[in-house]
Structure 1
Amino acid sequence: MALTFGKLVEEARNNVPGISSIEAKKKIEESPNTYIIDVQDADDAGACGLIPSSVNISLGMLPIRADLELPEDFRNPELADRSRPILVTCGLGGQAALGAYLLKKMGFTDVAFIEGGTTAWKDEGFETV
C-alpha cells in the first residue's frame, strides 16, 4: 500500500518527540542556542506568524541544508552541530513532525517538533512576528 501524508506523519510522530508550545518556550528560554526551524514553504511561512528567532527552511530544502557532505554553499552552517537543540515547527505540526524525523535520521540528537505548530504557539498567547 502506498504511503500517504497522514501515514508519513504518523511514522514521524512515533519516532521523534513532539512537545507542547509551553515546553518549547521553556526549552528556548533554558537553552538560548536552540535553533527553531519553520519548515513551511516560503509562500506559506508566516501566514500564522513566525516564532521569534525562527528561520524558514522549507521541508524540501531541509535535508540539503543539513547535509554535511554537500558543498558549503548549499549547507546551513547553523546545522553543522548535530548535538545542537533543534525545534521544528510549521503551521499545524504535520510538516514539523516530518522535518524533525528527517533531522533525527540525519544524526541530530536533540530534535523535537512543536505539537500543533505555530498555531498552537499563538493559541498559548506567545509572541509571533
Structure 2
Amino acid sequence: MVLTFKQMLAHAREHVNGVTSEEARKKISENPNTLVIDVQDAADAGACGLIPSSKNISLGMLPIRADLELPEQMRDPDLADRSRPVLVTCGAGGQATLGAYILKGMGFTDVAYIEGGTKAWKEAGYEVNH
C-alpha cells in the first residue's frame, strides 16, 4: 500500500499525542529533564528559530541515534533512557509527528510532538534562539 505524507501523518497521530506550545512549555518548565528534539535537517533547522535547549537530530538519523543495539559512537546518549520525557518539534509539525511516532515504536513511553512545530511555538510568543 502506497501512502502519502498526509496519510503517514494521520496514521502517526493515531498512535502518538500532540501537545500545544503552551502544554510543551509547561512540561519543559515542570521537568527540566524533558528532552526537546528538532528533527529538521541541519540545513533547515533554525529557519524559524530553535526552541531553547532543543537538540537537532534529523528525522533520518533519529532511529539510528536512538537504537541501543548499534555501536555506542552511532547513538546519542540523551536517547538512552526510554522513560525520559521527549518532545519532538520541527518547523511546522509534520516531521515532528513522524519523529514522535518513531520514538514511540522504539519504546519511549513519554513522547509527544509539538503541534504546529516551532512556528506555532514562536507564534505563541515563546522564546526562540536564532
Q: Secondary structure at the match of 2:36?
A: strand
Does residue 1:12 correspond to 2:12, yes or no?
A: yes
Mapped pair 1:98 → 2:95: no
Moved over 4 A (4+): none
Worse-matched range after superposition: 83-92 or 5-14? 5-14
1:56-67 map, 5 Å: 56-67=56-67
Q: CA deviation at 1:14?
A: 1.1
5+ residue gaps, structure 1: none
Whole-Å separation in 2 of the counterparts to 1:57 and 1:94: 15
Is the counterpart of residue 45 in structure 1 residue 37 in structure 2? no
1:110 aligns with 2:110: yes
> In structure 2, how many angstroms separate the alpha carbons of the residues matched to 1:56 and 1:7?
25
Provide the identity percentage: 72
Structure 2: any 5+ residue segments left out of the alignment? none
Determine if the alignment matches structure 1 residue 123 to structure 2 residue 112. Answer: no
CA distance in structure 1 between the aligned counterparts of 2:13 and 2:119, rounded to whole angstroms: 18
Aligned equivalents of 2:115 and 2:25: distance in 1?
A: 12
User: What is the TM-score normalised by the length of structure 1?
Assistant: 0.99
**TM norm structure 2:** 0.98
Amino acid at match of 1:38: D
2:95 is equivalent to residue 88 of structure 1: no
Q: Measure the CA separation in 1 of the matches of 2:108 and 2:44.
A: 26
Structure 2 distance, partners of 1:120, 1:29, is 18
Letter in structure 1 aligned against 2:87? L
Measured on the aligned residues, the alpha-carbon RMSD in Å equals: 0.5
Q: What are the superposed Cα offsets for residues 89-122 of structure 1, whole Å, 9 maximum, x if unpaired?
A: 0000000000000000000000000000000000
Cα distance between partner residues in 2 of 1:10 and 1:94: 10
SS in structure 1 at match of 2:95: helix
